[in-house]
Amino acid sequence: MEKPLNNRAWLMVAPVLVLVLFSALLPMMTVVNYSVQDSLGQNQFFWNGDAWFRDLLNPSTEIGARFSDALLRNLSFSLVTLALEVPLGIAIALCLPRGGWAVGPLLVIIALPMLIPWNVIGTMWQIFSRADIGLFGAALTGLGLHYNATQNAISAWCTIVVIDVWHWTPLIILLTYAGLRAIPDAYYQAARIDAASRWATFINIELPKLQKVLVIAVLLRFMQTFMIYTEPFVVTGGGPGSATTFLSIDLVKIALGQVDLGPAAAMSLVYNLITLTICWIFFTIMTQLDRRRYA
Amino acid sequence: MSRITLEGIAHSYPRSATMALQPIDHVWEQGRAYALLGPSGCGKTTLLNIISGLISPSQGRVLFDGRDVTQLPTEQRNIAQVFQFPVIYDTMTVAENLAFPLKNRRMERAAIKARVAEIADLLDLTNDLPRRARALTVEAKQKVSLGRGLVRADVAAMLFDEPLTVIDPALKWHLRSKLKAVHRALDLLMIYVTHDQVEALTFADEVVVMKDGRVLQVASPAQLFERPEHTFVGYFIGSPGMNLIAAKISDHVAHVSGHDIELGARYPKIKNGEAVIGFRPDFASLVPEGGIPVQVRRVEDLGRRRLARVALGPHEIFANVPEGVSIGGGQAGLTIQQDRLFVYVNDELVLGDRR
């Protein structure tokens, strides 16, 4: 079909551009603005060049050390939660019935954790994990484990991981289940005719057909875990020490606790760029793999 | 070597009041090609899936060579089945796809390779063997699906569930003759589900005509054509189908809108004489004079033959126009071959006493 060319059509996009300008670009530019200035209070700012960025990316400075520690902590947190949630989510989705009356209630029960507001989750788990009155904490202590989410670094870390797995594995389950339901029966029937084992069916039929939903699931989960804030803020407060001080928690401490707007602005920009870059790399690799398969 | 016996097989799906399959007894003989023919939803796929074990029947037994396999899962029945839409394993190459059923049955690697090469050659897939199966056209994919069925030489039966639906007409003919060749070469029991009568009649030694979960007639293509046992078989098979006309039977004569048609047999037992007479257009011809007087509506020249559409009272009838006979329109006479004129009551064939 012949498409007419008319540059005035750009005018139709103008309202969206204005909206994006106010919702994203202008606030973002204020952050950029702060990141290149220093202030001695009284709302007086002066030009500081790229000094904040250089400090931030140099681990021998105080802020640089904080940043690289938090980044490492955050990356390992994302890695651990994804490594737990994705296989667990797929496994549970595979166990769900493909049809029948039980599907509806089961999916609702599974989705429940996702419907609870973040800070409620934090509060719930704060109580739940207490060794004196919390069921989870008391049970672990009763088993003879040395568990204390607020004083023991390993306990604190594990608690945050468990919360995230509990909170967000349902998303993977739902996405995977939807993907599984989209596979026609004939594939399973052919697999039975071909005497494929359960494992071979999973590897050769289900996993390839799930690839697209899994890319989305992993991307979403990576972004969310990389930006995790509320759970550690409410449950551990970033502690003990700085054991659970992830990037967002550190950022808030610097920006709102110490009111160091310059370093905080620089940090949020770098933080943002890292998230974008990792997502882009991940997405490119997955789609390239896909294309190579077609060749 | 095997024969498959169905004993009183019937099926109804859960939460469904109607029977998907009425009780069926049938023996499928080794080395023959069968077609299950019928309109969509008549139960042919259900029957096929019961034989392959994908569905467990509500009643009856399935025997392979006399051994009861009703409760055995598909994997243990040694059956190959090809589905309506191509099923391929995305992650594998064409060669790996073809090898997959053999690999799962722990066949030796060298033997697998030889067999895959043989089948690929048969289906013209040799050049595609190293390619990813997912990159193929839908037709090539269906050939891979067919190949995965054919690759197993030792199967008890090969089942096809409308395997050529997605294939374009030219290739369809080609693939069908390939299947026929495979059938001759391998001496297998093949059961082929289709709703296309041409496909069924050209492929099969014996055709099972089904409707609404019921087997109406099991016969060779020629028998289905010459002696339909059910009015549905009459009009479903043949193009155009059988002429079916409501008539009042008194002994050896049928009365149709004021005319008498000699039946060539006596039918003394028909209740109230109410019945339907049926004859194929191929066994009825128009003559300029004599015969049953009919009104000629139109004469179509089909190249190989001429077909007339005529009216007998309110009834529309198709009949042949023999070579050399010219029908000018208006009135003509209809003659019917008496040994190809049948009487049906409640859609079932009723036999008369031939004199």
Are B170 and B307 in a shared domain? no
CA of A189: which chain B residue's CA is closest?
B54
What are the pLDDT digits (tens) for B120-138? 888 888 888 888 888 888 8
Res. A78: pLDDT tops 90: yes
pLDDT interval class at B332 (50, 70, 90) = confident
CATH code for the domain in which residue B281 is found: 2.40.50.140
- The predicted structure's pLDDT at residue A292: 65
Which residue in the block uniquely carries the two structure tokens 């289709």?
A: B194
Are B28 and B8 in a shared domain? yes
CA of B99: which chain A residue's CA is closest?
A194
Find chain A residues with C-beta within 8 A of B135's C-beta. Answer: 293-295
Are B38 and B83 in a shared domain? yes
| Contact state of B54 with A189 under an 8 Å Cβ cutoff | yes
Are B85 and B207 in a shared domain? yes
- The predicted structure's pLDDT at residue B43: 86
CA distance A289 to chain B (A): 11
b/e map B267-285, b = 16+ CB within 10 Å? beebeebebbbbbbbbbbb
- The predicted structure's pLDDT at residue A88: 96
What are the pLDDT digits (tens) for A118-171? 889 888 988 888 888 888 888 888 888 887 877 888 888 888 999 999 999 999
Of residues A186, A190, A293, nearest to B134 (C-beta) = A293
| Contact state of B83 with A194 under an 8 Å Cβ cutoff | no
Q: For residue A273, what are its two tokens?
A: 């760029």
Of residues A187, A205, A294, nearest to B132 (C-beta) = A294
Are B264 and B225 in a shared domain? no
Of residues A190, A192, A203, nearest to B75 (C-beta) = A192
Q: What's the structural domain count of chain B?
A: 2
CA distance A147 to A244: 16
CA distance B43 to chain A (A): 17
Does the beta carbon of A98 lie under 8 angstroms from any beta carbon of chain B? no
Are B109 and B162 in a shared domain? yes
Strand partners, B194: B37
Q: Are A205 and A183 in contact (CB under 8 A)?
A: yes
* Number of neighbours of residue A170 by Cβ within 10 angstroms: 20
Find chain B residues with C-beta within 8 A of A200's C-beta. Answer: 104
Strand partners, B300: B307
User: Of B46, B56, B100, which to mutate for an interface test with A (greatest number of A Cβ within 10 Å)?
Assistant: B100
Average pLDDT, chain B: 86
- Name the pTM for this structure: 0.77
CA distance A253 to chain B (A): 49
- The predicted structure's pLDDT at residue A293: 59
Question: Of B236, B259, B290, which residue is a domain's last?
Answer: B236
CATH code for the domain in which residue B117 is found: 3.40.50.300
Of residues A190, A205, A294, nearest to B134 (C-beta) = A294
Distance of CA A68 to the CA centre of its chain: 19
Res. B2: pLDDT tops 80: no
Question: Of B212, B236, B260, which residue is a domain's last?
Answer: B236
Does the beta carbon of A198 lie under 8 angstroms from any beta carbon of chain B? no
Find chain B residues with C-beta within 8 A of A295's C-beta. Answer: 132, 135
Does the beta carbon of A204 lie under 8 angstroms from any beta carbon of chain B? yes
- The predicted structure's pLDDT at residue B178: 81
Domain that holds residue B40: 4-236
CA distance B88 to B132: 10
- Domains located in chain A, CATH noted: 69-294 (1.10.3720.10)
pLDDT interval class at B285 (50, 70, 90) = confident
Task: Please report the ipTM that was assigned to this predicted complex.
Answer: 0.77
What are the pLDDT digits (tens) for A37-57? 887 777 777 888 787 888 888
What are the pLDDT digits (tens) for B40-59? 888 888 888 899 888 888 88
**Of A163, A171, A174, A84, the residue nearest A127 (C-alpha):** A163
Are B149 and B281 in a shared domain? no
CA distance B46 to B19: 11
CA distance A193 to chain B (A): 6
Interface A–B counts its CB contacts (< 8 A) at 63
Does the beta carbon of A209 lie under 8 angstroms from any beta carbon of chain B? yes
User: Of A194, A198, A204, A293, which to mutate for an interface test with B (greatest number of B Cβ within 10 Å)?
Assistant: A194
- The predicted structure's pLDDT at residue B1: 53
- The predicted structure's pLDDT at residue B75: 83
pLDDT interval class at B294 (50, 70, 90) = confident
Does the beta carbon of A196 lie under 8 angstroms from any beta carbon of chain B? yes
Does the beta carbon of A295 lie under 8 angstroms from any beta carbon of chain B? yes
Are B120 and B250 in a shared domain? no
**Of B60, B43, B62, B42, the residue nearest B52 (C-alpha):** B62
Strand partners, B207: B35, B219
Are B83 and B229 in a shared domain? yes
Are B162 and B261 in a shared domain? no
Are B60 and B25 in a shared domain? yes
Res. B78: pLDDT tops 80: yes
CA of A196: which chain B residue's CA is closest?
B104
Res. B184: pLDDT tops 90: no
- The predicted structure's pLDDT at residue B44: 87
Q: How many CA atoms lie within 13 A of A78 on its CB side?
A: 22
Find chain B residues with C-beta within 8 A of A208's C-beta. Answer: 89-91
Find the helix packing angle between B169-186 and B138-150, rounded to 10°: 10
Instruction: Flag the least confident range among A100-104, A108-112, B184-188, B233-237.
Output: B184-188
In DSSP notation, chain A reads ------GGGHHHHHHHHHHHIIIIIHHHHHHHHHHTEEE-STT-EEE-TTHHHHHHT-TTSHHHHHHHHHHHHHHHHHHHHHHHHHHHHHHHHHHS-SSSTTHHHHHHHHHGGGGS-HHHHHHHHHHHT-TTT-HHHHHHHHTT----TTT-HHHHHHHHHHHHHHHHHHHHHHHHHHHHHTS-HHHHHHHHHTT--HHHHIIIIIHHHHHHHHHHHHHHHHHHHHT--HHHHHHTTT-STTTT--HHHHHHIIIIIS--HHHHHHHHHHHHHHHHHHHHHHHHHHHHHHHHHH-
What are the pLDDT digits (tens) for B109-123? 999 999 999 888 888
Of residues A190, A195, A196, nearest to B83 (C-beta) = A190
Are B63 and B169 in a shared domain? yes
